[in-house]
Amino acid sequence: MPSMPPLILGSTSRYRRELLARLRLPFDVAAPAVDETPQPGELPADLAMRLALAKGREVAARHPDAVVIGADQVCDLDGEPIGKPGTHARAVDQLTRLSGRTAVFQTALAVLRPATGFERALLAPVRVQFRVLSAAEIEHYLRLEQPYDCAGSAKCETLGIALLKAIHSDDPTALVGLPLIRTAALLREAGIDPLQPAP
């Protein structure tokens, strides 16, 4: 029986690391060296897909015997990409713009196994309806959560859930950054089954 290839998460996101750990597979983490600057006129879904593949390919080039996961997420507000705010002021601006509106969080996933030529990428879009938010609510949330490393400043797994009216998704962890239903499916295709014991 062939041994299971090493699994590498090509992401520095602690949220993705925590999510992948739920599958109870041994894995390592590698930081992808990828420029995340959007290209002129690039749509959010295209940006997320391009970056997920670029991250996966960059890490796979350094680990050709591994199965590599690349991922990216871009908040899509009427076709405009809304990235990680980085600062308090930008987070205030993002949430003010998102207040009372619906955005699509374009979560992209890529799984690669260079040794077999396997490479697949797909999207797990999540429609998120934001409540009408007051300036005081936004300020209180940001002071407590400081979600400056989250696309669109919305950290739904903690207090950020109170910003929202509804979440529409067929893959419940996609909004946090790694759609685990799709991840498990692509890992099975690549030769790693979370429900099969390692040989």
Give pLDDT tens digits for 138-161. Answer: 999 999 999 998 889 988 888 999
- Residue 80: beta bridge partners? 77
Predicted confidence (pLDDT) at residue 1 exceeds the cutoff of 60: no
Q: Which CATH class is domain 7-190?
A: alpha beta
Q: How many CB atoms lie within 10 A of CB 81?
A: 19
Active site residue 46: no
The residue count of the chain comes to 199
Q: Where are the domains of the chain?
A: 7-190
| pLDDT given at position 186 | 98
pLDDT at 2: 63
Q: Can you give the pLDDT at residue 114?
A: 97
* CA-wise closest residue to 187 among 124, 125, 120: 120
Average of pLDDT values for 100-118?
Answer: 97
Work out the percent of the chain whose per-residue pLDDT is above 70: 97
Instruction: Tell me what pLDDT residue 140 has.
Output: 97
Q: What is the pLDDT of residues 17-52, one digit of tens each?
A: 999 999 999 999 999 999 999 999 999 999 999 999
**Strand, helix or coil at 168?**
strand
- Cα separation, 34 vs 86, whole angstroms: 18
Q: Please, which residues have CB within 8 angstroms of residue 192's CB and are 6 or more apart in sequence?
A: 4, 5, 7, 25, 67
Q: What digits encode the pLDDT tens for the residues 51-99?
A: 999 999 999 999 999 999 999 999 999 999 988 899 999 999 999 999 9
What are the beta bridge partners of residue 109?
71, 122
The whole-number pLDDT of residue 151 equals 87
Nearest C-alpha neighbor of 16 from the set 189, 176, 194, 181? 176
Q: Choosing from 72, 93, 170, 171, which is the catalytic residue?
A: 72
